[in-house]
Every structure is written in C-alpha cells, then in structure tokens.
Structure 1
Amino acid sequence: MSLATTMPAPFIRPSGDLPASLSALVWRGDALGRPVTASCASGFGALDAALPGGGWPGFGLTELLLSPAGTLEFRLLGPALGRVCAVGREVVLVGPPHLPHLPGLLPHGVTARQLVWVQADTPAERLWATEQLVKAGSCGAVLAWLPQARPAQLRRLQVLASDHEGPVWLCRPAVAARESSAASLRLLVRPGAGWALSVDVIKRKGPPLARTLHLPAVPAGLSAVLPPRLLNLGQTAVSREADHAVVRAPTPEHRRPAVPH
C-alpha cells in the first residue's frame, strides 16, 4: 500500500472559521476584492460602491472602453485626476487623440505644472512610453490611449502596473469589450441621457455587476455657468438622443410640410 493512500485528505476550514488576521487575507469570489493599497475615489458615489476598494485601484491596470476617443475620458476621470494632483503628484497623458484642454481640468484642481503630455504618434511609441512610465513609477497616475494594443501587450502592462502605486488607465475603443484582456478592471463608458455617463463594469475582482451605472457628469467648467434648463437635460422629455444633441419631437403646430429631396 502506498503512502499516498494511507494519508488522510487535508481538512480545509472555511474562511469564516479562520482567525481574523487570516480571514482578512482571504478573498471570496462572491465579494468585492480588496486593493493592495488605498484606492483613489472616483468622485461618483455609485461608481465607488461598485469598484473593489471603493475607488480607482492602484497596483493594477484599468481599461476604459469608449467611443469616440477623447470625448468622455476627462468627464469620468476629472475628479480622480484632481485628487492625484492635490497630493502633489503629476498626471501623465500618453498619446491623447486631441490637444489636452487645461481650462476644462482646472476646476478639478489639475494645474499646468502637474499635467504632463507625452506626444507619441505611432502605436509603438505610445506603448513604449506607457511601459516606461509605469515601470518607473515616478508619477501619480498614467492615462494612455492604446487603441491597437494586443492581448500580449496588455498582459505585460498588467504585470508592470501591479508594481505601480497610482492608477493606470488605458483608453481603448468600445468594440474591444468583445475581446479578452488581462486588465484587472474593465469599464464600458457611453454617453447617457443629458450630461450623464452610462457605465458598465464588465470585469472586476468580484461578482458580475448586472446593472448599468448612470453617473451625472456635467463638465466642471460648465456647471457654474449653464442655466438650470441645460443642467437638467436628463430630466426633460426627450424622444431621441444623439451623440452631441438632444432632438425633440416637434409639436403639431410647429411641424413643417415635407420638402421633397
């Protein structure tokens, strides 16, 4: 008779029976995971409640899947970027699709001295710059646009980001949501009603989130100057919504006769 057949099977105690010091280190798949370090609050209570650790995680890669690029990122990340700058750290942008608009970030507390823009024109340059920044760990947060990143490249960035204390965000097209990714957190971001953002958490350390989050995200530079009727676009009756305009169905007295084309 072999030794293997005589040895009793080890007894695995449930985490609830473990000492408190050990139970805190056990993650159960039906609960949100805990970050390695304190998270950076997103500025949106509903989003923080859905993210492991209650905010944007450090020591990991976060993918933001959105289209078109350059229109929604700063409305979602503006409050968090301001928090990074508030503690004296820099925010580095790699390959943004448009020239960064500093006046739109100033209300969040992002200053010109703390905003660094790396102009990288080719996919290879953007990937290389992002890897070096994450590896160096010298900035408070990295926000990079890598629409053509391949799975192997994402795996490498996730490994590098696991040693980076601050948030590392990658912006990719919404269609990339169909692909697998090594990123520890993935969010699908779309325009919502009025000024809101519709956010789906499609990957996180924890149970799936079946509902869409609707986050009020009026641009900080406009919230103080817009009249109430424009601030509350999401509360008015709309028949159809486009990417850049709200189209209302005309009332009968305002209908115009059809014009032949």
Structure 2
Amino acid sequence: MSALQSLVHSDRSAITPAVLPQHLAALVWRGEAMGHHQAPVVASGHAALDAVLPDGGWPCQSLTEILQTQAGLGEWRLLAPALARLVAQGGSVLLVGAPQLPYLPALAREGVRADRVIRIDVEGAAERLWATEQALKAHCVTAVLSWLPQARPEQIRRLQAFAGQHPGLFFAFRPARVAQESSAAPLRLHLTLGGCPHPLEIHVIKRRGPSLAEPIVLPHWPSGLAELWRSSTASPTRPPRSSPLPATVPRHALRPHTSLTVPHAELDGLAARLEA
C-alpha cells in the first residue's frame, strides 16, 4: 500500500496538512479555514470586502462570478477601483456582451481611461462563450468582464479551466437565479443594492473559507456623486424664517378673497394700484 493510501485509510481526524508531505499539504484546504490562492490577487479597493476575500483581493488566474437580479446595478461601483489600479499599470479591460455601453467619462473619472476599455458586441450565447474563451487565451488584456446570462454549469467549468491560463482578472456576470446551481467558480458573489442611499451589498455565496451569514455593505459611490451626497447630508438646511409684517400694511395686501379664481380685470386693477 502506498503512503497516500495509508493516509486515506488511517484515522481521518488525525490527518492535517502538518502531517502530509509538503507537496500535498499545499493542496489541502479545510472548510473552516481561509484558503489561499496560488496566483496573485488584486486589491478590490474596498477594505471591508478585501477582509473576507481569500488573500485579500480579487484572484487572478481564476473565475469570479458576480450574480445580479439586473445588469447595471452597481457592478462598476464594485470593480472600478481594482480596474483603475490595473489601468494605471498599463493594463486594459475587455467587455464581452455588455448589456449597456458604460458611461466612459464617469469611468475615466474613477481612473479607468476610455482608451483602455475594449468592447465586443456579440449575438447569442454561443458567441458570448466563444469570445470569452478567445479573450482568456489571448493574454493581451488585463481584465475580462463577460456577461453570460445563459451559461450552463459545464460551460462555466470550461471557462474556469481557461481562466487558469489567463494571468489577469476574469469576472462573469450571471443572473441571480443561478445561485443554487453548482459552479466551478472558486469565488461567487451576489451583488445587490441596499436602501437609500443605496450602498452595495455583497452576499458571499462561495469562497475558499467559512461561510458568511451577513452581507458585506460597501457605502461606495463614484467620486462626483459622493461629493454631492456628502454636501447634501452634511447639515440639513432649515427653511428661512418668515419676516414679521410691518406695522402698517397696505389695505390691498390684507384684502380677503372668497375664491381662488380671480378675474383678469381685477388682477389688472391690483397691478395698477401696486405700481402707483
């Protein structure tokens, strides 16, 4: 019996990474412990989120799933800090099948320059998958963002295999209804918006680490909107106080009206008296 078979048939409670050979211990991960990613990570730019991500950031050479009830609800607020860091280092961002054209001036304000963003329009699920695979194989972009509303579990598994060969980041946006389906993605997040002022809420569905019962709340807004929000909530404005009436008030100012409908002739007469 080989050494590995002996370990398998021995008391499993005594099997820990410490007693395994070094080349096997690196591959063992226990569910109650935070796992480690063999490839580099990119800080998300959100301290609260980095604190719960394995190794403290978005994993490179791996597929990260972001589930949403509707596209366009917060994904750019979530990813812009990390993408800006990559662009500042000379990287580029590829969008595959984005449902809406992002507002490039706003991205540029966050540090994601328009000349570093590439968009590929596709038709149908097959084209989405093909374009995504080619982008991962090409190694010519730093981050791949792909919208895959119809991808099946076996197709996600295939993309995860290609992601292992891609040196940068890979995000797949999928509908929230697939949260209960199996997925080969090591990291799965459900992105929603909270109540006003609509912070980002991140529900960690899957990670290499213990489960999280509560969502991660990120009160992050683009810089321009953040400034407006802070200025509007810094100090509530009070309505101006009404000035007291002077001691002598013109009789026409106190004239009672029995109806809100005033004939034009009477209004003309009132205007003439005011000008006199």
Query: Smaller-chain TM-score range?
Result: 0.7 to 0.9
Rounded to whole Å, the distance in 1 between the matches of 2:182 and 2:15 is: 34
Amino acid at match of 1:206: G
Rounded to whole Å, the distance in 2 between the matches of 1:9 and 1:37 is: 31
Gaps of 5+ in 1: 233-261
User: What does residue 186 of structure 2 align with?
Assistant: 184
Rounded to whole Å, the distance in 2 between the matches of 1:56 and 1:27 is: 19
User: What does residue 223 of structure 2 align with?
Assistant: 220
Amino acid at match of 2:40: A
Q: CA RMSD in A?
A: 2.4
Cα deviation for residue 28 of structure 1 reads 3.0
2:198 counterpart of 1:195? yes
2:99 counterpart of 1:97? yes
- What's the TM-score, normalizing by structure 2? 0.75
Larger radius of gyration: 2
Q: Render the CA deviation track for 1:185-240: whole Å, top value 9, x for unaligned.
A: 100011113131111100011211222111112123322344533589xxxxxxxx
Cα deviation for residue 14 of structure 1 reads 3.2
2:151 counterpart of 1:149? yes
Rounded to whole Å, the distance in 1 between the matches of 2:234 and 2:146 is: 30
Q: Render the CA deviation track for 1:71-101: whole Å, top value 9, x for unaligned.
A: 2110111111101101101010111111121
Rounded to whole Å, the distance in 1 between the matches of 2:187 and 2:15 is: 30
User: What does residue 106 of structure 1 align with?
Assistant: 108
Q: Percent identity?
A: 48
User: What does residue 122 of structure 1 align with?
Assistant: 124
- What's the TM-score, normalizing by structure 1? 0.79
Gaps of 5+ in 2: 236-276
User: What does residue 33 of structure 1 align with?
Assistant: 35
Out of 74, 87, 90, the residue aligned to residue 89 of structure 2 is 87
Residues 22 and 200 of structure 1: CA distance in aligned 2, closer, same or farther (over 3 Å): same
Q: Render the CA deviation track for 1:154-202: whole Å, top value 9, x for unaligned.
A: 0100111011121100001111112111111100011113131111100
2:130 counterpart of 1:135? no
Cα deviation for residue 24 of structure 1 reads 6.0
User: What does residue 162 of structure 2 align with?
Assistant: 160
